[in-house]
Structure 1
Amino acid sequence: MDTTLDGLRGSSGEPSNGSFAKTLRGELVVDLKAAGLYDDASGIVIAGQLTDSMVDAAIGTGTGKLGAHFTVTRDGKSVFDKTVTVDATWDSSFVGAIALPAAINQYTALYKTLAGKLFADADFQKALAK
């Protein structure tokens, strides 16, 4: 599931950095840095594993879904353990040259949406609180 994306006939659906997990990690790091919460030396460790990764550029309506199981440990003790999932639907053209790029853009946006949902989770916020 981590190196190719099913549902896009005519497209390899491979992530630009070689791994969908790396894409998610990159999104989380960018958002944490932007919020001033990223610290390599912190005793808080956020780990995640993709649980769902799907996009379908079907004629009429495209769909995408992204999910990950996240854990947070503080000084070795588990303080957060939850699966977060997001999905999207959009109008999808019958013309592949239009539908495929739209599906890729919608799928890529799910990473930011997933990170946002994680950061908005009250239990996650509590786990990161000082």
Structure 2
Amino acid sequence: MQSKRSMSMALPLAALTCIFLVGCAGPAPNYAPSIDNVEKLKKADVSAAKVGVFDTKAGMQNADTIGLRAASLVSPVGKNYGDYLAAALRAELEMAKLHAPASPLEVSGRLLQNNINAGGIKTNDGVLEAQFVVKNGSELRYDKVKKITRQWDGAFAGAVAIPQAANNYPLMVQQLLAELFADPDFIRALKQR
């Protein structure tokens, strides 16, 4: 009798322990295009382009999952954060009415860094770095790396810090794309000759 009672207490305790050891996993917030980015693209008078594959650097930390204290974020699109970046770029181009899946102009790339630090009490930060490539058919027109760092207020409580970090991820992607769209060489690469 004692053995059954011990077992009935042990199972819930084991399950609870597993939950605390594993933490919570959930999707990163969906990307919403930046009005400033869309306006930049519209004013640049560029040709419509398609979005190609964005892969992740081999062995890159946080390619599939970003750890935020005891929680983790997974990309809500595709299989990794390269797919998230591609979807974000596609959303910006679509909102600017510059996405054309049949275009010979293609923007592709590789995610090189994808880090969020949510452990700070005073401040937290994140770093995104990606290589962007523009081709017109087989002609290489652009190949550069863009990198951003974003900082926000930290919090002692994980219940505050984790959502703050998660909500800053799409803003980091907006900032990275703003860097790309501000590059005159990128804009030139998207103009048909």
* TM-score normalized with structure 1 length: 0.93
C-alpha separation in 1, matches of 2:162 and 2:178: 25
Larger Rg: 2
Matched, 1:99 2:161: yes
Please say if residues 4 and 15 of structure 1, whose CA atoms lie closer than 8 Å, have aligned partners that are also in contact: yes
| Alignment partner of 1:38 out of 91, 99, 105 | 99
Matched, 1:75 2:133: no
C-alpha separation in 2, matches of 1:76 and 1:45: 10
**Runs of 4 or more consecutive aligned structure 1 residues displaced over 6 Å after TM superposition:** none
Q: Which residue in 1 is equivalent to 2:71? A: 11
C-alpha separation in 1, matches of 2:84 and 2:187: 22
| Alignment partner of 1:63 out of 125, 133, 136 | 125
**How large is the RMSD of aligned CA atoms in angstroms?**
1.1
* Count of residues paired in the alignment: 129
Encode CA deviations 1:40-83: one digit per residue, 9 max, x unaligned: 11111111110110000111110101110011111211000000
| Runs of at least 5 residues in structure 1 that lack an aligned partner in the other structure | none
C-alpha separation in 1, matches of 2:170 and 2:190: 26
* TM-score normalized with structure 2 length: 0.64
Deviation at 1:94, TM superposition (A): 0.5
**Counterpart AA for 1:95:** A
| Runs of at least 5 residues in structure 2 that lack an aligned partner in the other structure | 1-61
Q: Secondary structure at the match of 1:13?
A: strand
Identity value in percent:
33
C-alpha separation in 2, matches of 1:106 and 1:113: 10
